[in-house]
Structure 1
């Protein structure tokens, strides 16, 4: 194609030569870039989960060592904690820190924050304390969900100005609260509010918090569910915020 172009226009600058057939150029630059697709852009992340609860409440949702939770059980636990968080003043776009080891309680905490309208701020207890305190100082959350590992990782000094909710407590204050789903409209929550805040590695400077809306996360989940087979779902989990 290049030789033919040179033959018909020997004096034309190289950068102006047509080196692709018109059909191939259209395919590469136009057809492959038609990626627009419908997705439920007005739905929050936790509403997708609640829809699955309705479809299969008894199906297994979480397995951790010897503990198993169904979708219905997980939803009820998250709802009770969510109502507690709402009572503590959690509102849309408000960051709520969560620092727990991997466990069913971690999943309950994430869902509860979303259901309460907050944006979860994931803190890995395996990270250095200095890094975790830097994130806390920058994001300035008022609430922290944690366990013993989270407390130890953050250190007592970092907890002074936070309302700390220990998800390992034997008799939680929210145990008897409603198990029903909080109403997003009553909370003023929409898909354009924040779902979570994730911090960059900071390898080229100070780590920065990236704020992700529900609609963007739903878009990613909708796309990945159509791209990956069930056997490949770990690829999606690998790149999600809580695993980052």
Structure 2
């Protein structure tokens, strides 16, 4: 929790970390993510993602950089997304269940050099010029726990986070020719948050988490669940498309 610490962002400069902080404040003890038998509250997700974000900042992550998330939909995937955006960076999906050549192209084309994954997926992911942080590696998890649980603000980051910075990078297409990447800024996510408000998601609602390849759609699921509902992860073989 940020407590008395304040962010230097001006009024109206809404970014994804600001929206996530509002979700935590609204219902800290509510379930943020339900992944099979595993679940995590908004409060605990906030603290754990703060620690991971501090590690990412120490590793040199700066606002407007792009990091890869190399794992299927899961509680850990949401944790990684929260931490990346708190560090100020954007995220791009390289799900290990997708084609290796596609993931390798995405990493090379986006210039991403750092990614977050789990140990069991490391060998399935592109490794050329890449460094993968495996959250369940004993040394890594021990190191993460050493970082403060305090919220990340601009004075912690290498530079201020602003609405025009990249929140996520989505690669669409690829069935014919090469996939094409499109950057979505924090300002562009304002429409996503507006959709959440229009849907008036209630505290007892369950938002299905079915997306992995499309970072924009995955972020939409995340914001539709916040601040009151919980994001329920679908099995890995489920699809958002018919």
What is the aligned counterpart of 1:213 among 176, 180, 185? 185
Unaligned 5+ runs, structure 1: 1-39
Matched residue, 1:201: 173
Whichever of the two has the greater Rg, that structure is: 1
Instruction: Find the aligned partners of 1:150 and 1:197 in 2 and give their Cα distance.
Output: 21
Call closer, same or farther: CA 1:101–1:70 in 2, change over 3 Å.
same
Superposition map of 1:127-138 within 5 A: 127-138=98-109
RMSD: 2.6
Instruction: Find the aligned partners of 1:221 and 1:93 in 2 and give their Cα distance.
Output: 20
1:87 deviation in Å? 0.4
- Structure ranking higher in helix proportion: 1
- Structure ranking higher in strand proportion: 2
TM-superposition CA deviations, 1:134-183 (whole Å, max 9, x none): 111101112111113532332xxx31422220012235111121111110
What is the aligned counterpart of 1:118 among 76, 85, 89? 89
Give the conservation status (yes or no) of the 8 Å contact 1:121–1:197: yes
Instruction: Find the aligned partners of 2:28 and 2:206 in 1 and give their Cα distance.
Output: 24
Q: Which gives a bigger RCO, structure 1 or 2 (Cα 8 Å, sep 6+)? A: 2
Instruction: Find the aligned partners of 1:218 and 1:177 in 2 and give their Cα distance.
Output: 31
TM-superposition CA deviations, 1:27-64 (whole Å, max 9, x none): xxxxxxxxxxxxx9521112111112122211111111
What is the aligned counterpart of 2:67 among 93, 96, 109? 96
Partner secondary structure for residue 198 of structure 1: strand
How many residues in Structure 1 have an aligned counterpart in Structure 2? 202
What is the aligned counterpart of 1:141 among 102, 108, 112? 112
Unaligned 5+ runs, structure 2: 1-10, 222-239
1:225 deviation in Å? 2.8
Call closer, same or farther: CA 1:110–1:235 in 2, change over 3 Å.
closer
Partner secondary structure for residue 159 of structure 1: coil
Call closer, same or farther: CA 1:228–1:72 in 2, change over 3 Å.
closer
Instruction: Find the aligned partners of 2:200 and 2:28 in 1 and give their Cα distance.
Output: 24
Give the conservation status (yes or no) of the 8 Å contact 2:119–2:137: no
